[in-house]
Structure 1
Amino acid sequence: MRHSPSFPDCLRLLLFLGLAGTGPVATVTAAPEEAKTAPRAALTVTTIAPRSEVWPETIRAGGALFAWRDLAVAAQVGGLAVVEMPVEVGSVVHRGDLLARLAQDSLKALVAQKEAEVARARAALEEAVANGERARKARGGEAFSEQKIVQYLVAEKSAKAAVAVAEAALRVEEVRLAQTEFRAFADGVITARGVTLGSVVPVGAELFRILVEGRVEWRAELVASQLAAVHPGQAVEVRPASGGSITGRVRVVAPTLDAATRKAIAYVDLPADSGARPGMFAQGTITVGERPALSVPQSAVVFRDGHAYLFGIDPEERVVRHKVTIGRHHQGRVEILGAPPELTRVVATGGAFLNQGDRVRVVSEAAPASPDDSAVAIATPADTLPGSGSEAPAGTPVTHPPTAAVDTPCTATPTAAADTPCAAPPATADPDP
């Protein structure tokens, strides 16, 4: 036989089920209504103030790199073969170093021949001088006629001239012999070689080219409007296509413009150890003075639809977009031209994710955002904590309390019949079958 539960027990069970089923539902369904009125923050941002500085005034230009001084070593004698060449392209040479040698046998033979002719002419000169002395002593006497005396004196002069001719011919052959050796005119680097061992060299053939002292110059191409500002001695920063930056100085500015390009050349000296190579193209900036600049970091400038923008923050912490004009670039900062007066603080980074009117949370410039701020960049709708009635801060992840378990004590006022929890009493089994 089964016993029916008493009325107080049924009342307690119904009251417990009612509270457990309606309490959490009321809290969860109320959150969307409150989210409609809660403020929404898009990002946590850091603001900075534009900075007034004095920046160098520069002129941009392009041009190629050339040898500062390029020496050509050419043959002055022809028809001789190259028998010795101790240098290659890229060899570092010093003034007087041997570069190449031609065959010398034929020229040495000619030199010996001319030396013999000089000796013969000098012997003839000695005889002529002796005859002349006798003729001068016999003048006025009867030993020699006047005609004979004149002949001896003329022969003496002719012998002296013959010696001079023979000596000159000897010097010519000695010079030709010396020209078979090619030596460096200055310190530098071999940049080109036009012959090989065994080649027969014609007169005027270029054998080598030498980059004097290994120095390179940049020839900056300037338009007519830039010429007035460029002067010798100004500092130049050259950026070759190979990378890096080289500091140089303007040596001279060409006095005329090229008729075809309508440009003038500014010759810029570069240090010998710059690593630049002739033939490279380079961009550069010439510092011509200084000028004040209002600047912001490059990260603060956002480009959209071909225009530059800065994002300011109004008193209500909402984004205000300002269209600006940018000028010079210097050390990671950008010059702002014609900035509006109200633009006293701008968003430092992350402007690409902002739009006009977005609400943001501003943190101090000196204090970086915490890891939590960076992890929760997009704020969630505001929620109220269950049972507290207080609004959750914007940007805080929402957490809901777990649903009450079945064995949670009831908060309703106990009845007079029993002061026990609302848990349903266990059913008593009927002992009777």
Structure 2
Amino acid sequence: MARLRTFAPLLLALPLLLAGCDQVRELVGGSKNDAPARASGRAVRVTTVELTPQTVEIERELTGRTTAYRWAEVRPEVSGILKELCFTEGAMVKEGDVLYRIEPDTYKAALNKARADLASAEANLKVTRLRERRTADMLRGKSVSQQDYDDVKAALQQAQATVQSCAAAVETAEINYRRTEVRAPISGRITISNFTVGALLTANQTSPLATIYQTDPMYVELSQSSDDLYALKKQMREDVDVENINPSLIRATLTMADGSSYSSVGHLNFTGVDVNRNTNTITLRAEFPNPGGELLPGLFVNARVIMGQDPRAILVPQKAVLRDLQGKPYVYLVKDGKAERRSITLSRAIGTDWHVIDGLHLGEKIILNGVNNVRAGMAVEEVTQSDAEKAAQTAQPAGGHN
């Protein structure tokens, strides 16, 4: 009696264990409706789909960062005290606009002195030229020696050189005077100023006064692995030279960090010519219009680069694709009335289909409905979708009666 009480809980749990075994057997072997067919060796009824060529865009998802189309650091070319700030920080500026004014008094005085030196040199040249003419006449009359004439002529040449030197000094002084107005080297949006009025500036100093970014259009620098490039060559048709495709013909779209899509479509304008030894990647650069200034330099973005089209792509319904314990995808094909398991390589999902890039060939038939009820080498019978639906409706009342 004590033994019965000991095994009573096990006896009560036995139906639940048997039910669980039935569920496991159903998951592993398929539905109950097909169990008699498998037990008797009859063919399992399945629907199939024949693989036909489809036109698919060949694309890659790459990550990158935005960079300005052009950018320039503003630096002074002369030294002096910053006298005036002539722009609004963060605003748009045009090439040639005055951004800063440096105290000009010293450079104005230097310019005036250079001009005075030039006037003095020109006056001396005029006198020396007249003396040379008179000495030449006297030399013809034998009134002076050849040495005297040579001395006067050398003085004339020296006076001419002095004039040229003074003219160059005037030009230099004018340049330095003009450079007291620091102008925008390019058009674009200017950053905050790093110096305020009263600061002492040095010619060609290391620290920029400000930076100007030209952001329309905007560049996006991307990195593509060299392994992916070779896979792309394999995916493209043999008559397409991937390396020599015109980059401007390759379209690109952007997805922002928050998941939203950028409204404008861009294109590639540069592809790298070498592989980075540290990262094993190739640099790509896309160009996007940015009239509204939505894109800013330094943003992290995802780019969808459309390399071209594959007119003989293979698309497989997602419900026909199974995965093994390692997560590797495979499908079942019908070969000579039997199911054949085939491992495949997937590219990406397109709607309700998978884009298959390896493992299948056009014209082959894969099992669609009933794929969970077959195993490799099992006999299968191809039926139409309508026949499969009728069989399922016929089996439902019988299942409910049992």
Aligned pairs (5 A) from 1:351-390: none
**C-alpha distance in structure 1 between counterparts of 2:73 and 2:57, whole Å:** 41
Aligned match of 1:277: 296
Q: Is the 8 A contact 1:297 1:332 kept in 2?
A: no
**C-alpha distance in structure 1 between counterparts of 2:201 and 2:321, whole Å:** 65
Aligned match of 1:67: 68
Aligned pairs (5 A) from 1:152-167: 152-167=152-167
SS of structure 1 residue aligned to 2:204: coil
Aligned match of 1:249: 267
Task: Give the direction of change, closer, same or farther, for the CA distance of 1:191–1:332 in structure 2 (3 Å limit).
Answer: farther
Task: Give the direction of change, closer, same or farther, for the CA distance of 1:302–1:96 in structure 2 (3 Å limit).
Answer: farther
**C-alpha distance in structure 1 between counterparts of 2:329 and 2:148, whole Å:** 112
**C-alpha distance in structure 2 between counterparts of 1:285 and 1:58, whole Å:** 7
Q: Please tell me the residue identity of whatever aligns with 1:98.
A: V
Task: Give the direction of change, closer, same or farther, for the CA distance of 1:294–1:278 in structure 2 (3 Å limit).
Answer: same
Q: Is the 8 A contact 2:49 2:366 kept in 1?
A: no
CA deviation vs aligned residue, 1:122-171 (integer Å, no higher than 9, x gap): 11111101101111222221332322222221211111111111111111
Unaligned runs of 5+ in 2: 1-31, 34-46, 234-241, 333-340, 375-384, 387-395
Task: Give the direction of change, closer, same or farther, for the CA distance of 1:204–1:239 in structure 2 (3 Å limit).
Answer: same
Greater radius of gyration (CA): 1
Aligned pairs (5 A) from 1:20-419: 53-78=54-79, 80-191=80-191, 193-205=193-205, 206-212=208-214, 214-225=216-227, 226=229, 229=242, 231=245, 232-233=247-248, 234-242=250-258, 243-245=260-262, 246-273=264-291, 275-291=294-310, 292-295=312-315, 307=327, 327-329=346-348, 332-335=351-354, 337=356, 341=365, 343-344=367-368
CA drift at 1:212: 2.6
Q: Is the 8 A contact 1:49 1:346 kept in 2?
A: no
Q: Please tell me the residue identity of whatever aligns with 1:104.
A: P
Task: Give the direction of change, closer, same or farther, for the CA distance of 1:69–1:145 in structure 2 (3 Å limit).
Answer: same
Aligned match of 2:9: none
**C-alpha distance in structure 2 between counterparts of 1:128 and 1:346, whole Å:** 113
Q: Please tell me the residue identity of whatever aligns with 1:286.
A: V
CA drift at 1:342: 5.2
Q: TM-score, normalising length from structure 1?
A: 0.60
CA drift at 1:301: 8.1
Unaligned runs of 5+ in 1: 1-39, 42-46, 313-321, 348-354, 358-362, 365-377, 384-433
**C-alpha distance in structure 1 between counterparts of 2:400 and 2:277, whole Å:** 72
**C-alpha distance in structure 1 between counterparts of 2:72 and 2:111, whole Å:** 30
Task: Give the direction of change, closer, same or farther, for the CA distance of 1:336–1:218 in structure 2 (3 Å limit).
Answer: closer
**C-alpha distance in structure 2 between counterparts of 1:346 and 1:247, whole Å:** 43
- Greater share of residues in helix: 2
Q: TM-score, normalising length from structure 2?
A: 0.64
Aligned match of 1:18: none
CA drift at 1:49: 7.8
Aligned match of 1:425: none
CA deviation vs aligned residue, 1:217-276 (integer Å, no higher than 9, x gap): 111112223176354221122323253235221112122222322222112112133722
Task: Give the direction of change, closer, same or farther, for the CA distance of 1:336–1:329 in structure 2 (3 Å limit).
Answer: closer
**C-alpha distance in structure 1 between counterparts of 2:198 and 2:318, whole Å:** 63
**C-alpha distance in structure 2 between counterparts of 1:200 and 1:299, whole Å:** 72
Q: Please tell me the residue identity of whatever aligns with 1:240.
A: M
Q: Is the 8 A contact 1:311 1:346 kept in 2?
A: no
Q: Is the 8 A contact 1:51 1:295 kept in 2?
A: yes
**C-alpha distance in structure 2 between counterparts of 1:214 and 1:56, whole Å:** 28
Task: Give the direction of change, closer, same or farther, for the CA distance of 1:333–1:70 in structure 2 (3 Å limit).
Answer: farther
**C-alpha distance in structure 1 between counterparts of 2:169 and 2:118, whole Å:** 9
**C-alpha distance in structure 2 between counterparts of 1:179 and 1:298, whole Å:** 68
SS of structure 2 residue aligned to 1:67: strand
Q: Is the 8 A contact 2:270 2:284 kept in 1?
A: yes
SS of structure 1 residue aligned to 2:150: helix
Quote the RMSD (CA, aligned, Å): 4.0
Q: Please tell me the residue identity of whatever aligns with 1:75.
A: P
CA deviation vs aligned residue, 1:277-335 (integer Å, no higher than 9, x gap): 211222223222322445478799899977599999xxxxxxxxx99867344664431
Q: Please tell me the residue identity of whatever aligns with 2:221.
A: R
Task: Give the direction of change, closer, same or farther, for the CA distance of 1:297–1:96 in structure 2 (3 Å limit).
Answer: farther
**C-alpha distance in structure 2 between counterparts of 1:70 and 1:332, whole Å:** 42
**C-alpha distance in structure 2 between counterparts of 1:114 and 1:107, whole Å:** 10
Task: Give the direction of change, closer, same or farther, for the CA distance of 1:330–1:99 in structure 2 (3 Å limit).
Answer: farther
Q: Please tell me the residue identity of whatever aligns with 1:279.
A: G
Q: Is the 8 A contact 1:85 1:197 kept in 2?
A: yes
Q: Please tell me the residue identity of whatever aligns with 1:223.
A: S
Task: Give the direction of change, closer, same or farther, for the CA distance of 1:276–1:132 in structure 2 (3 Å limit).
Answer: same
**C-alpha distance in structure 1 between counterparts of 2:96 and 2:90, whole Å:** 17
Aligned match of 1:404: none
**C-alpha distance in structure 1 between counterparts of 2:348 and 2:366, whole Å:** 23
**C-alpha distance in structure 1 between counterparts of 2:57 and 2:370, whole Å:** 24
Q: Is the 8 A contact 1:50 1:346 kept in 2?
A: no
Task: Give the direction of change, closer, same or farther, for the CA distance of 1:196–1:48 in structure 2 (3 Å limit).
Answer: farther
SS of structure 2 residue aligned to 1:261: coil
